[in-house]
Amino acid sequence: MNMKTDELDKLVRFRRDVHQSPELGFEEHETSRKVREYLDSLGVEYVSGLGKTGIVAKIVGTGAQSDASVGLRADMDALPLEEKSGVEYASTNSGCMHACGHDGHTTMLLGAVEHLQANNDFSGSVYCVFQPAEEGVGGGKAMVDDGLFDRFSIREIYGLHNWPALPVGRFGLIAGPIMAGGDRVDITIHGKGGHGGLNPHGCVDPIRIAAELIHKAHTIVSREVDPLSPAVLSICAIHSGDLSGFAVIPNTAQLCGTIRALSDEARETVRSGLKRLCESLEHYYGAKIELSIEDKFDVTFNEAGATQTAKDVITQCFGERALERDYKPSMGGEDFAYMLAVCPGAYIHVGSGDDDHPYGLHNPQYDFNDKVIPYGVELLSKLARESLDKQNAKG
């Protein structure tokens, strides 16, 4: 696919417009409106309001009648960050920015919609899923729960994500787990405060307990999880007391962190170890420790057949060297996992790194690399056609 300059310019303008007005999960009302307007301009039918602010567009091929169908998914939400990229189209919504490239993903899927609508000589149906709330608030699950696969006969589904760790023109893809399952961990230690100099012996010091908890929690993976099964437990934040109260032992300490694993077994081992640790410290110190483990996303699991289809498309479109060899899964999370748990499919990392875009995902200086747009549009468009062709060949 050779994208014309005016076609690319149109998509870049759309992407930067969305970038300038980012919205958090389930609040993508303006973004959703812009997507609907784009679809209306193409004459593409769609259903909106799925999973609150999600959209599903449908393109029916003009070829022989067929029940074959495929889904293409992009996420739309932004992150609660103050943008520091310095670009002229930077966020105008204070404390909110597209720091993960979902503005680019939405744009590439719209580009694929436009291409497939104009070149609809295929047999079957393509469903284009614009998903809200990917950033840890369950938009993928919300769409599934709202009937994504009941209301639309999607037989196979594909998603992609820009990946700054890979150079532009390279793609990362493996069968099986490609992104980790993950939890949010919140811990509150209720102790007994007092004077740090006068009567520390009469206190139940939550900071002392927190220090021991953090130290021991970070040994759970190394001593309780099979070393051949990747897992991570990180305590990432702690709050207790006040820096101006240099002699005040506080009553409570709050901790927050995350669990990540590439298998449900390893994930449950870490959860169990953390629960036992909190219970033992609670009894030993005479404190009360509240532990909350919130399931954020499942393991993102690529089905073997869909993965091979994606690999075939990548090598056909971009050459053998475009496919990264010996690719490794990421311990990041992705709630596209909830769709892949219901429908076979694959998730693909699309290289977006170059000298002009040195910042990684979730960085306040990050900006999506517009050079990736033609790659994403071609990949999504060809994935849809290849999936339908394979389904039709099987009969």
Annotation: binding site for Mn(2+)? 100, 102, 135, 161, 362
Residues annotated within a binding site:
100, 102, 135, 161, 362
Joined together, the tokens standing for residue 40 give: 């209306």
What HEC string does 258-286 produce? Answer: EEEECCHHHHHHHHHHHHHHHHHHHHHHC
Integer Cα distance of 168 and 349 in angstroms: 11
Integer Cα distance of 56 and 48 in angstroms: 6
Integer Cα distance of 186 and 167 in angstroms: 36
Integer Cα distance of 84 and 98 in angstroms: 11
Pairing of strands 69-75, 125-131: parallel
Integer Cα distance of 84 and 365 in angstroms: 5
Pairing of strands 176-179, 248-249: unpaired
What DSSP designation does 241 have?
S
- Beta carbons of 203 and 192 less than 8 angstroms apart: yes
How crowded is the C-beta side of 221, counted as CA atoms within 13 Å? Answer: 17
Residue with the two structure tokens 């999506």: 368
Q: DSSP letter string over 343-357?
A: S-EEEEEEEEEBTTB
Q: Other CB atoms closer than 10 Å to residue 64's CB: what's the count?
A: 10
What DSSP designation does 382 have?
H
Integer Cα distance of 221 and 106 in angstroms: 37
